[in-house]
Amino acid sequence: MTDRKAAPDRAAVPQTSIDIIVAQNYGMLDHVQALRTLGLRIFPVAERSKLPAIAGGHGHLDATTDEVTIRNWWMGHPCANIGHRPDDDEFYLDVDGGDESLRKLTAIGQLPITPTTKTPRGYHLRFRSTGIHIPQRKLQRFQAETKTSSGYVLLPPSVHPSGARYEWLFDPWTTPVAECPKWLLRLILEADGSYGHNASVSNPDHLDELRRIAKAGLRDGEGRNNAAYRLYGLLISPPREGLDVYAARDLIRHWNAANIPPLFERELSRVFRSRELRELHRRGCGRHE
């Protein structure tokens, strides 16, 4: 990539947009509405967190461009982070290795200028993938992974659990979304790092516990709620990064279907929310209702 882009000229960007990009005292709702006007599908993520903010919702599947829905969300959660679910023909390259990972990538091919976020650990580069299905996949060599419509990323000025703020390197108001270069497409499609693998679940002790708890066919009175809580916790809270929250919920639902009888969905929802709140507290993010 080329050097950091200069701040947009006020004459080139509508006054309302440039103020939203640079002003630090604007509320999140102003940022969100400016992003919505670009057609980005948005949903609220808990303050200083990566977990969805709406209890009983569907996380990134609720993402929308509807002005009224978005306003209501942020009126109820004024400090919520901004989650973006990419369109089906777009994806993000999430580069966690920072500049060193970018150097490794650009040694293979040139990365075009495209909307890019500077994250606390690296970069999010947004690309089009017209006519090509991009899987959620890890690129282990480059400490990078793809984020597709099956997941989401945080957009500026969201705040990382560490307290660091996400910032625009190339903002979406002045930077068109670039088509993914062919060399990067090949790299992604040929990669063997499937999304969702993580060190914790591959740990032998955790695997043994997962296998023990995940034995199907628990009956009423045999600890279905406790088993669901523990199993869900093992999936979402390893030392590094766990499964996507919604992939983990789906796994729990499949496990629950074999119980006799299965827990009701409302009971599972309480389990999910309770365990997610504990995870927020574990990461020092506080309670976000």
Contact 202, 195 (CB under 8 A): no
| Mean pLDDT within 226-230 | 84
Q: Which of 43, 79, 48, 87 is nearest to 62 (CA)?
A: 43
pLDDT score of 289: 38
The angle at the Cα of 233, spanning 228 to 237, to the nearest 5 degrees, equals 165
Q: Which of 213, 214, 217 is nearest to 259 (CA)?
A: 217
How far apart CA 99 and CA 197 sit, in angstroms, is 24
- Report the mean per-residue pLDDT for the chain: 80
Q: What are phi and psi of 95, to 5 degrees?
A: -100, 105
pLDDT of 274 strictly over 90: no
Tens-place pLDDT, residues 4-50: 444 434 343 344 444 434 444 357 999 999 999 999 999 999 999 99
pLDDT of 201 strictly over 90: no
Architecture per CATH, domain 15-194, reads as 2-Layer Sandwich (3.30)
Distances (CA, A) of 117 to 64, 121, 208: 21, 11, 39
Query: At a CB cut-off of 8 Å and minimum separation 6, what does 33 contact?
Result: 67, 70, 71
C-alpha dihedral, 168 to 170 to 173 to 178, nearest 10°: -130
Beta pairing class for 123-128 and 178-179: parallel
Q: Which of 29, 20, 35 is nearest to 75 (CA)?
A: 29
Q: Which residue has the higher pLDDT, 194 or 169?
A: 169
How far apart CA 73 and CA 287 sit, in angstroms, is 17
pLDDT score of 281: 65
Integer-rounded Cα radius of gyration of the chain: 20
Residues of the chain by 3-state class (helix, strand, coil), percent to 5: 35, 15, 45
pLDDT-derived band at 250 (thresholds 50, 70, 90) equals confident
Task: Tell whether pTM > 0.85.
Answer: no
* Furthest CA-CA distance within the chain: 68
Tokens of residue 90, six digits: 């777009």
Q: Which of 13, 7, 191, 2 is nearest to 114 (CA)?
A: 2
The angle at the Cα of 264, spanning 261 to 265, to the nearest 5 degrees, equals 140
Q: Which residue has the higher pLDDT, 4 or 155?
A: 155
Q: Is 89 left (phi over 0), alpha (psi -120 to 50) or beta?
A: alpha
